A and B are shown apart, each in its own frame.
Chain A
Amino acid sequence: MVSQETVNYIAGLARLHLAGAESEKFAKDLEAILHYVQKLDGLDVSVIKPTSHVLNVENVFRDDVIKPGLSQEQALAFSVENLNGGYKVPKVIE
């Protein structure tokens, strides 16, 4: 059973504020989905290697050559607040 406590803990990790009724709803939804995915427990995977990626490519490098990129102005253009060429966020330390 997925408790509301767990849901609120996960929401905290995911940086999502849940309103009261939402955590109850998501507890129910997560419960149903987690119950469904439990069918994977029936498989013996003890000797199987995990696949994180389907392609057999490793260490993709490019030449270390400077190319034109976005200007600071372009990169900051869609920030809500910026200051002196950087992103501005609410106060972090008192």
Chain B
Amino acid sequence: MNLFELTVHQILDQIKAGKISASSVLAEVSARAQTLNVKTNAFVRLFPSPEIKAGPCPVPIAIKDNICVKGELTTCGSKILKGFKPPYDAGVVDKIKASGGLILGSANMDEFAFGSSCETSAYGPTRNPWALDRVPGGSSGGSAAAVAAGQALWALGSDTGGSIRQPASFCGVVGLKPTYGRVSRYGLIAFGSSLDQIGPFTKDVTDSALLLNIICGFDERDSTSLNVPVPDYTKALVKDINGLKIGIPQEYFLDGIEPDVAAAVKAAIEVFKKQGAVVKHISLPHTEYAVATYYIVATAEASSNLARFDGVQYGLRAMPPNLRKSPLIDMYEETRARGFGDEAKRRIMLGTYVLSSGYYDAYYLRAQKVRTLIKQDFDKVFSDCDVILSPTSPTTAFRIGEKINDPLAMYLSDIFTIPANMAGIPAISVPCGFDRAGLPIGLQLMAKPFAEETLLRAAYAYEQNTPWHLERAVL
């Protein structure tokens, strides 16, 4: 087997045993990152070869293009940040560097994480390693594709409405969104500040626990980072799930799910039952309102966060040829018109609309109230369930171009992932099979706040009894 096909825990075992060196791993994975990028476009840029330093995890990692890496271009998949080299490292990048991590480059993403397909990137779409005419999902599509293609051993992404879990599902890898507040958002370029969370993309659940061990923990530079002790997540990797209570929400198994996806998830439920888990049928009655709530709350927060891109502090500045309003306003409006792509403009407009005078109560305030109802649904269910199980996405990877001109259809591909962000709970997507076209299918597990260990235990028990995580895309 090639080194790039191995998991990080396998690589670390081999390094420890003296069979391979960190530099040979770096050389092989860097070369693959470079040569395959023509096909996948998983990276928007590769950094000059990183230097190997002491640390427990000296392995190559891809970092999503919205996470600041000191002195390296960080552009959020947008033209408006062209040329921006952050003068500091994000909190998670500090931790990655301290662990000896080798940052290969910036992974492609939908512009400002606005999208579910990686097609809105100003640097061209990423292609799914399992089928190059398909999307890798989004918005962290580059991170997912890099891991699936062996262009990095693992990766970091961010998840505001499913942006880690949906691409993990589409690319046949493991993606975990931690509890809101578990991982520092310092240096993550903000989209929806009450929803965003950084998390790992890995080839299996063991690697997910290892990467969580590195990135979790309090950071005083993020006022929403919680000062809660971080357990050793690898201790949660036990196969015993006897008596684990798994809830199956009826609202997540309605029409519109592809038959192959539904069949794979139903088969997964049987695997859990066989291991002694207790399966319960539950209801999350406000699920159908989650997407509508999200597209009000998230766009409102985004329109406010993106106000900072105004041609003053960062790279791009543009002026119209003739005076329209006043020199300063013209500069703002022209810079933003040229710097942002269509989806970013659409979301800024929607967010501005729902926050504007006369509409605030009808849209934004109402959505915040419905968010309470969605959160209460979960609180109720978790009083009698350890884990909630569902498909990660209703479909497998769709074709490039298929949904790009229909924003609403695109938004609905996050229907099963958005609720976890609204409630701030942790959730994981693990591979659970392939459809008839050979495209990966993802299984989502959700747990109560700070119960990442429960998620990992359930996911590990499932993974160790199924072969899906051993499959690799052939490129």
**Which residues from chain A contact B224 at a C-beta distance below 8 Å?**
53, 55, 57, 60
Interface set, chain B 298-331, CB cutoff 8 A to A:
303, 307, 310-317, 319-320, 324, 326-331
A16 CA / B348 CA spacing, docked (Å): 9
Q: Which residues of A from 26 to 72 have beta carbons under 8 Å from B?
A: 26, 29-30, 32-34, 36-37, 39-41, 43, 45, 48-55, 57, 60, 62, 70
Residues A43 and B349 in contact in the complex (CB < 8 Å), given A10-B356, A13-B356, A17-B320: no
Complex Cα spacing A54 to B307, Å: 24
Among B330, B356, B411, the one with the most A-chain Cβ atoms within 10 Å of its Cβ is B356
User: How many residues of B are counted as interface, with CB atoms below 8 angstroms from the partner's CB atoms?
Assistant: 70
Contact A54 B367 (CB under 8 A): no
B407 close to A (CB within 8 Å): yes
| CB–CB B349/A26 < 8 A | yes
A83 close to B (CB within 8 Å): no
Considering the chains assembled together, what is the distance between the CA atoms of A15 and B328 in angstroms?
11
Does A84 count as interface, using CB distance less than 8 angstroms? no
- Residues of chain A within 8 A of B47, CB atoms compared: none
Residues of A within 8 A of B346 (CB): 26, 29-30
Q: Does B253 contact A (CB under 8 A)?
A: no
Q: Which one of B314, B336, B407 lies within 8 Å of A29 (CB-CB)?
A: B407
Partner of A15, one of B181, B288, B329, B368: B329
| Per-position 1/0 for B85-126, Cβ under 8 A of A | 101100000000000000000000000000000000000000
B292 touching A39, Cβ below 8 Å = yes
| B292 with A36: CB separation less than 8 A | yes
Cβ of B289 and Cβ of A39 under 8 Å apart?
yes
Q: State whether A90 and B349 are in contact (beta carbons under 8 Å apart), knowing that A37-B292, A45-B366, A70-B87 are contacts in the complex.
A: no
| Nearest-Cβ distance from residue B114 to partner chain A, whole angstroms | 13
Q: Is B84 interfacial (CB-CB < 8 Å)?
A: yes
Tell me whether A70 and B369 are in contact (CB under 8 A).
no
Which of B312, B319, B367 neighbours the largest number of chain A CB atoms within 10 Å of its CB? B312
Q: Chain B: which residue is nearest A90 at the CB level? A: B327
Q: Of A18, A32, A37, which contacts B296 at CB under 8 A?
A: A37
Residues of B within 8 A of A89 (CB): 312, 328, 331
- Kindly state the separation between the CA atoms of A69 and B471 in the bound complex, as whole angstroms: 47
Residue in A16, A48, A55 whose beta carbon sits within 8 Å of that of B181 in the complex: A55
Residues on B lying within 8 angstroms of A by beta carbon are: 83-85, 87-88, 180-181, 194, 220, 223-224, 226, 286, 288-289, 291-293, 295-296, 303, 307, 310-317, 319-320, 324, 326-334, 336-337, 340, 345-346, 348-350, 352-353, 356, 363, 365-373, 375, 407-408, 411, 423-424, 449
Sample (25) of A-B pairs whose CB atoms are under 8 Å apart:
A6-B353, A14-B348, A15-B336, A26-B345, A26-B349, A32-B408, A39-B288, A39-B292, A40-B296, A40-B370, A43-B286, A43-B370, A48-B369, A48-B370, A50-B371, A51-B369, A51-B375, A53-B224, A55-B226, A75-B87, A78-B84, A78-B85, A80-B316, A89-B331, A90-B331
- Known contacts A10-B352, A80-B315, then 7 further A-B pairs from the complex at CB < 8 Å, ordered by chain A residue: A17-B320, A26-B349, A37-B367, A51-B369, A53-B224, A55-B181, A77-B85
